[in-house]
């Protein structure tokens, strides 16, 4: 492997990862799209549209980092797809250096929000609480 390729791999490994996490339909994909300045994640009024983690590399104030859009976390759902999405979110938490915990002000704090907060606490994730839909 060339020295240039090694430098690229090292930069990728050292790039911070920020994950946007929350229950279904709080606006994670919309926030992700706004932050990256493109429509990379699909958005819809129906919950459960984002099922896979979507990643984008961006620069903010001279710092390059990876931003991850995650599916909605439904910790106690019996639905098979929700279980798969939850496993992917937990994997994203393991990778993340920082988590943006997104909540919906219009709906208020829900039992699922509290469950998500408990998962974040147990993972000892550094978090920013961001409240969406204030208007």
Where residue 124 sits, what CATH number does that domain have?
A: 3.40.50.300
Assigned domain for 22 exists: yes
* pLDDT 10s digits, 116-131: 999 999 999 899 999 9
Any idea what DSSP says for residue 115?
H
Assigned domain for 59 exists: yes
Question: How many domains are contained in the chain?
Answer: 1
**CB of 41 within 8 A of CB of 50?**
yes
* pLDDT 10s digits, 43-84: 556 655 556 778 999 988 888 899 999 988 887 777 777 778
Mean of the per-residue pLDDT values of the chain: 84
Residues spanned by the domain of 51: 16-132
């Amino acid at each position: 492997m060339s020295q240039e390729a090694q430098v690229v791999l090292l930069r990728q490994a050292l790039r911070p990862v920020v994950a946007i996490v929350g229950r279904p339909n709080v606006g994670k994909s919309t926030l992700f799209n706004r932050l990256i300045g493109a429509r990379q994640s699909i958005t819809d009024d129906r919950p459960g549209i984002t099922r896979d983690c979507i990643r984008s590399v961006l620069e903010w104030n001279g710092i390059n980092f990876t931003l991850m859009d995650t599916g909605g976390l439904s910790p106690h759902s019996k639905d098979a797809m929700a279980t798969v999405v939850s496993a992917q979110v937990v994997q994203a938490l393991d990778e993340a250096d920082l988590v943006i915990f997104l909540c919906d002000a219009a709906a208020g704090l829900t039992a699922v929000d509290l469950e998500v907060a408990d998962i974040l606490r147990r993972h000892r994730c550094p978090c920013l609480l961001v409240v969406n839909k204030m208007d």
